[in-house]
Amino acid sequence: MDVKGASALISGGASGLGEATTRGLHGAGATVVIADLNAEKGEALASELGERATFVEANVMEEDQVKAAVDAAAQADGGLRISVCCAGIGWAERTSSKRGPHNLEYFSNVVKVNLIGTFNVLRLAATAMSGNEPDDQGERGVHVSTASIAAYDGQIGQTAYSASKAGIVGMTLPAARDLAGRGIRVNTIAPGLFDTPLLAALPEENRQALGAGIPFPSRLGDPAEFAHLALAIVENQMLNGETIRLDGAIRMPPK
């Protein structure tokens, strides 16, 4: 898929890994539609990028809002051909503790946002992509989901988060098979420890310790490295139905 001249939808695209991906796709020549709940950050990023950048306020759980973002990308120059879903939340709680059982509502919310929200974006984006004219290799679009190494190496207290991210990994191949006949690829990135706003809140000593635990390179990942992989997936047509760990060879301990 040629990034230049295509329209891209980035859900959760106003901060962290999503912001880096928005910048990367825009820098490569795509028209970007930033879909995010944070209107202040989203509008500021779109304004900074200027031409070929639009912000649409959207909750990945709300069908009408995601449809509006998909429509905006589909109507942009080049048509919607790239979708990257970076929206997600986390929650830490043990399955059972002195306080009692894990809060079921919190578990459900994490799964709804991370897994069902990702599927919501995927199904609506793929439907819009199906109407595209195929390129000279028969391709109509590509979707990239964001999982986590917690899908494989979930730590103590990560049952909800790990379950939601494992679900994203699990649906990648069947979704790719579903959409193969339409010339739409589906892949997933499972990032490790990245220097995102979530980790920025930690003391520098803790941040350094987290980075030192990564075999090589022994540092936190740069969101631009996530964006670089997302672009590589978009451009490499043979990558399909795959989940790629981006983690510096770390395997997370129990805690």
The CATH code of the domain that includes 23 is 3.40.50.720
103 occurs within a structural domain? no
Give the pLDDT confidence score for residue 197 in this predicted structure: 82
Q: Report the alpha-carbon distance of residue 67 to residue 79 in Å, rounded.
A: 14
What amino acid occupies position 226? F
109 occurs within a structural domain? no
178 occurs within a structural domain? yes
Q: Report the alpha-carbon distance of residue 224 to residue 14 in Å, rounded.
A: 14
| pTM to 2 decimal places | 0.96
Give the pLDDT confidence score for residue 101 in this predicted structure: 96
- pLDDT per position as a tens digit, 231-240: 999 999 999 9
Q: Report the alpha-carbon distance of residue 118 to residue 99 in Å, rounded.
A: 31
104 occurs within a structural domain? no
Any catalytic annotation for residue 106? no
Can you say whether residue 161 is alpha, beta or left, with left for phi > 0 and alpha for psi between -120 and 50 degrees?
Answer: alpha
Give the pLDDT confidence score for residue 247 in this predicted structure: 97
- pLDDT per position as a tens digit, 166-199: 999 999 999 999 999 999 999 999 999 999 887 7
What phi, psi does 171 have (nearest 5°)? Answer: -90, -5
The dihedral sign for the CA sequence 196, 199, 201, 206: negative
Looking at 55, 91, 107, 161, which residue is catalytic?
161
For the chain, which ranges sit under pLDDT 50? none
Helix, strand and coil content of the chain, in percent to the nearest 5, comes to: 45, 20, 35
Contacts of 110 (CB under 8 A, 6+ apart): 89, 90, 91, 160, 161, 163, 164
The DSSP symbol for 185 reads E
Q: Strand, coil or helix: what is 95? A: coil
102 occurs within a structural domain? no
Torsion of CA 103, 104, 105, 109, to 10 degrees: 110
What amino acid occupies position 142? V
**How many independent structural domains does the chain possess?**
1
227 occurs within a structural domain? yes
User: Could you give the percent of the chain with pLDDT greater than 90?
Assistant: 92
Domain of 37, in residue numbers: 7-89+116-157+169-195+221-246
User: Could you give the percent of the chain with pLDDT greater than 70?
Assistant: 100
65 occurs within a structural domain? yes
49 occurs within a structural domain? yes
Give the pLDDT confidence score for residue 198 in this predicted structure: 75
Give the pLDDT confidence score for residue 49 in this predicted structure: 98
Give the pLDDT confidence score for residue 203 in this predicted structure: 82
Cis peptide before 254 (omega within 30 of 0): no
